[in-house]
């Protein structure tokens, strides 16, 4: 671990940033990162962490202006005493060479039309690398644990998994051996095993190369196992800073304690209100037997059997590519399964489904930003399923919409708003309201908290618990995050390679997992316990 007494590679002092309209968003932020050290900038959306970190690249997003403070980049005369005072042409020469960036979404950070080798090599060419570029590309791909053979280098991004795409992005960021690297939530959306691999890659590269790393995140469980120091940001200010052991193990600021309390932890007992379920009493609410799905030669689902009982929550757990979303969409009628028998309350689910069956099984999509029509008001979006799936008149529909918004703790003013005016958590609440507006028996939730801050995630989980308790809705909760199990589920079904490999009550599966794959998922799940 890097000592805090070392001279920092990069030092930010008194950073102030405002909107072009004059509203200040950063209020004198300061941080410093030493060689070989990882500083985690932690906070919720809107806290200013990304704005503060991107300043290390001399970059401010459209609508923001630098109004005060300086960033000293030590060891390079071309950066002078203040990186932020350099002309644009000089900054372009510095980015990617002295300071680099790893964006959040691996799929969007790579050009889909260029081969992997070309994309890494572009960074070297842009900065006039004077060595053997092909050899350096292979070297840095090996550094991040990727193949270096010609066949792999000729692949396009769509031929790689999400974890491989992200490691290519990290390889490109480290290609020119930068002194500073900014990593912007690079594991958001990755399953726990892939996340663990990417984090190990980052830790190893930073340590071996002596690079100073700024790691932007809202996930304190990731921070506990990765970072050396933590700076907690709230409303444009650093409210607490210190070593991981100090901040995570003994937080002083109320906001830090609030963030830590919101992080789901497998090792922390959770008190939940009892929700009556109908398991063992009569007929399962939703049943699938022998579910199968193929895409060409690839088998995605292979003979899956599953039951969901009234009032219960079943967690469908698995890594990316396990088939969990395919199964969830098949159960919801969003895609046709190639094989299997589906029934709802003992009655076969028709193809196509009747209006009653469509009303009974509703789906909440992963992205709160992509699941609502940006050109419709929230009220209009909620009214669509009522208009198509019920015979309710305009007045009844309007009353139902307002009642549903109230159920998800959005007041009536949200009815006239458009999705763009809502936060991520508010949009997800609206999406849940839309799914619940037809009073379904089953709610299928597909990774509905994966893109949310921990405190917003906790609020959404509380909302779903209230829906189960007050409305008696059964839920299929699709996720790769087993840490949520104690918070939301009664049972867990673990999916691997299109097959259920383990199935049982949450407490039993977590305490005594029977399958090696389940044990592997548990081993790779981040914990709030501080190892260092």
What does the CA dihedral 263, 199, 94, 212 come to, rounded to 10 degrees? 80
Q: What is the pLDDT of residues 74-83, one digit of tens each?
A: 765 555 568 8
Euclidean distance between CA atoms 382 and 373, whole angstroms:
11
Q: What does the pLDDT read at residue 352? A: 87
Euclidean distance between CA atoms 305 and 302, whole angstroms:
10
Q: What does the pLDDT read at residue 2? A: 47
Give yes or no for a contact between 481 and 511, defined as CB atoms under 8 angstroms apart: no
Per-residue pLDDT of the chain (532 residues; tens, 9 = 90+): 444 567 899 999 999 999 999 999 999 999 999 999 999 999 888 889 999 999 999 999 889 999 999 998 876 555 556 889 888 888 888 888 899 999 877 777 789 999 999 999 999 998 988 889 999 999 999 988 899 999 999 999 988 877 888 889 999 999 999 999 999 888 877 788 888 888 898 999 999 999 999 999 888 888 888 999 999 999 999 999 999 999 998 999 999 999 888 888 776 666 655 555 676 567 899 999 999 999 989 999 999 999 999 999 999 999 888 999 999 999 999 999 999 999 999 999 988 889 999 999 999 998 877 789 999 999 999 999 999 999 999 999 999 999 999 989 899 999 999 998 887 889 889 999 999 999 999 999 998 887 778 888 888 898 899 888 888 899 999 998 888 898 899 999 999 999 999 999 999 999 999 999 999 999 888 877 665 4
In the sheet that 99-102 helps form, which strands lie side by side, from edge to edge?
99-102, 180-184, 212-217, 38-42, 229-234, 237-243
Query: Helix H segments across 365-515?
Result: 378-389, 394-407, 424-436, 454-471, 485-488, 506-511
Residue whose token pair is 């070989």: 36
Helix axes 162-174, 116-126, angle to 10 degrees: 20
Homologous superfamily of the 286-524 domain (CATH) = P-loop containing nucleotide triphosphate hydrolases (3.40.50.300)
Q: Could you tell me the sign of the dihedral formed by the alpha carbons of 435, 437, 438, 443, in that order?
A: positive
Q: What does the pLDDT read at residue 378? A: 96
Q: What is the pTM of this model?
A: 0.81
Q: What does the pLDDT read at residue 532? A: 46
The conformation of residue 420, written as its DSSP 8-state character, comes to G
What does the CA dihedral 149, 153, 159, 163 come to, rounded to 10 degrees? 80
Q: Which fold has domain 10-262?
A: Rossmann fold (3.40.50)
**CATH 3.40.50.300, the chain: domain bounds:** 10-262, 286-524
The conformation of residue 95, written as its DSSP 8-state character, comes to B
Euclidean distance between CA atoms 168 and 119, whole angstroms:
9
């Amino acid at each position: 671990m890097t000592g805090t007494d070392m001279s920092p590679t990069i030092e930010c002092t008194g950073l102030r940033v405002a909107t072009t309209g004059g509203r200040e968003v950063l209020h004198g932020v300061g941080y410093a990162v030493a060689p070989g050290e990882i500083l985690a900038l932690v906070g919720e959306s809107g806290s200013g962490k990304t704005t503060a970190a991107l300043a290390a690249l001399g970059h401010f997003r459209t609508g923001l202006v630098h109004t005060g403070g300086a960033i000293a980049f030590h060891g390079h005369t071309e950066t002078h005493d203040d990186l932020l005072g350099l002309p644009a042409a000089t900054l372009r020469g510095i980015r990617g060479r002295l300071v680099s960036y790893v964006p959040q979404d691996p799929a969007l950070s790579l050009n889909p039309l260029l081969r992997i080798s070309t994309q890494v090599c572009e960074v070297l060419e842009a900065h006039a690398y004077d060595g053997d570029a092909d050899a350096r590309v292979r070297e840095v791909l090996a550094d991040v644990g990727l193949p270096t053979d010609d066949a792999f280098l000729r692949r396009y991004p769509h031929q790689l998994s999400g974890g491989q795409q992200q490691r290519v992005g990290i390889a490109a960021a480290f290609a020119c051996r930068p002194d500073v690297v900014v990593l912007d939530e690079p594991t958001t959306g990755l399953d726990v095993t892939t996340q663990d691999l990417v984090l190990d890659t980052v830790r190893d590269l930073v340590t071996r190369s002596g690079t100073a790393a700024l790691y932007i995140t809202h996930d304190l469980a990731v921070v506990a196992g990765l970072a050396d120091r933590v700076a907690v940001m709230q409303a444009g200010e650093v409210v607490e800073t210190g070593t991981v052991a100090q901040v995570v193990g003994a937080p002083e600021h109320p906001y830090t304690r609030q963030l830590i309390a919101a992080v789901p932890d497998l090792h922390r007992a959770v008190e939940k209100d009892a929700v009556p379920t109908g398991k063992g009493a009569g007929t399962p609410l939703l049943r699938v037997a022998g579910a199968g799905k193929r895409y060409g030669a690839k088998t995605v689902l292979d003979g899956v059997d599953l039951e969901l009982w009234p009032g219960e929550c079943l967690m469908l757990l698995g890594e990316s590519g396990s088939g969990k979303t395919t199964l969830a969409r098949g159960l919801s009628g969003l895609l046709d399964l190639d094989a299997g028998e589906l029934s709802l309350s003992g009655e076969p689910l028709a193809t196509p489904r009747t209006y009653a069956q469509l009303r009974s099984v509703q789906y909440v999509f992963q992205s709160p930003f992509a699941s609502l029509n940006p050109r419709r008001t929230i009220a209009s979006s909620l009214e669509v399923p009522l208009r198509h799936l019920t015979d309710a008149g305009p007045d009844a529909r309007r009353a139902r919409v307002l009642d549903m918004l109230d159920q998800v703790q959005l007041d009536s003013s949200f009815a006239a708003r458009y999705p763009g005016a809502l936060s991520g958590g508010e949009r997800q609440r609206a999406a849940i309201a839309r799914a619940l507006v037809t009073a379904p028996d089953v709610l299928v939730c597909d990774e509905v908290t994966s893109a949310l801050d921990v405190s917003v995630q906790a609020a959404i989980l509380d909302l779903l618990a209230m829906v189960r308790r007050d409305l008696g809705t059964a839920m299929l909760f699709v996720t790769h995050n087993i840490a949520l199990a104690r918070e939301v589920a009664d049972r867990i079904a673990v999916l691997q390679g299109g097959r259920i490999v383990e199935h049982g009550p949450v407490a039993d599966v977590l305490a005594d997992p029977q399958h090696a794959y389940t044990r592997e998922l548990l081993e790779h799940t981040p914990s709030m316990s501080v190892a260092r």
